């Protein structure tokens, strides 16, 4: 289960990330609303947890933006605002649930699980078609023109991230974070080596390049 936590208080964020990962969640972290929108443009989150008061772009604005763009997952607002009027504002902005600070982690965890149950993806959304490639999220499989590509777990994670953002350049830092994790010691060379291995499996000789290197930024897929 993939979560995004957008919280400008680093101490609160660090504690929540530690607890959520202990419970088996994969968590991306954004310190402000602007970065939260960037992460949401690159990833398909099951649940987005938004602090109301954040610099750059507020949690309410992020929530509205996501719903306007058709984000189907759960949105949980965290805030110190506890009046009925505030709750109405949050819910009308598109939030599914609302939790007032301070709160116990057990309550947050229960609300996240409830949101996930309500926003389960259908089988149809678990299959991504992009050009000749089909990505099946449930089985972690990739097919090219109906033929399965025998990708390793790491290769699948790397290619699925790029394929889900087809046409967009994904920064190297985000790729390493998503594929190797925050605690990884993966270097830039690790990423480049996996890109070379992946190209050998998905690009036939004489065909146009599928994975494009964007100098100084990262990689993108063009299909």
Ranking 7-21, 109-123, 139-153 by mean pLDDT, the lowest is: 109-123
Residue 218: its pLDDT value, please? Answer: 93
Residue predicted with more confidence, 186 or 208: 208
Residue 182: its pLDDT value, please? Answer: 52
Residue 121 pLDDT > 70, yes or no? no
pTM: 0.58
Residue 12: its pLDDT value, please? Answer: 92
Residue 123: its pLDDT value, please? Answer: 40
Residue 124: its pLDDT value, please? Answer: 45
Of 18, 28, 23, 45, the residue nearest 110 (C-alpha): 23
pLDDT level of residue 87 (50, 70, 90 thresholds): confident
Residue 122: its pLDDT value, please? Answer: 43
Question: What percent of the chain stands above pLDDT 70?
Answer: 92
12-23: average pLDDT: 94
Rounded to 10°, the helix 105-118/10-22 angle is 60
Ranking 36-45, 128-137, 210-219 by mean pLDDT, the lowest is: 128-137
Average pLDDT, the chain: 86
CB atoms closer than 10 angstroms to residue 151: 19
Residue predicted with more confidence, 203 or 17: 17
Residue 90: its pLDDT value, please? Answer: 81
10-22: average pLDDT: 94
pLDDT level of residue 181 (50, 70, 90 thresholds): low
Structural domains in the chain, sorted by start:
2-118 (3.40.50.2300), 124-221 (1.10.10.10)
Residue 180: its pLDDT value, please? Answer: 75
């Amino acid at each position: 289960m993939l979560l995004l936590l957008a919280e400008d208080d680093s101490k609160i964020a660090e504690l929540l990330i530690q607890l959520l990962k202990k419970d088996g969640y994969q968590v991306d972290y954004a310190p402000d609303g602007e970065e939260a929108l960037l992460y949401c443009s690159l990833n398909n989150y099951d649940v987005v947890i938004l602090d109301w008061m954040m610099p750059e772009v507020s949690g309410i604005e992020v929530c509205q933006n996501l719903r306007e763009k058709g984000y189907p997952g759960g949105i949980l607002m965290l805030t110190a605002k506890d009046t009925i009027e505030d709750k109405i504002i949050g819910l009308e902005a598109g939030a599914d649930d609302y939790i007032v600070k301070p709160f116990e982690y057990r309550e947050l965890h229960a609300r996240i699980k409830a949101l996930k149950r309500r926003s389960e993806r259908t089988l149809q959304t678990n299959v991504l078609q992009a050009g000749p490639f089909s990505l099946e999220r449930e089985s972690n499989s990739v097919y090219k023109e109906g033929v399965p590509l025998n990708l390793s777990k790491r290769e699948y994670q790397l290619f699925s991230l790029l394929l889900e953002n087809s046409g967009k350049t994904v920064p190297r830092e985000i790729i390493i974070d998503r594929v190797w994790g925050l605690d990884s010691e993966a270097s830039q060379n690790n990423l480049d080596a996996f890109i070379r291995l992946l190209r050998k499996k998905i690009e036939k000789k004489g065909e146009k390049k599928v994975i494009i290197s964007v100098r100084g930024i990262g990689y993108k897929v063009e299909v």
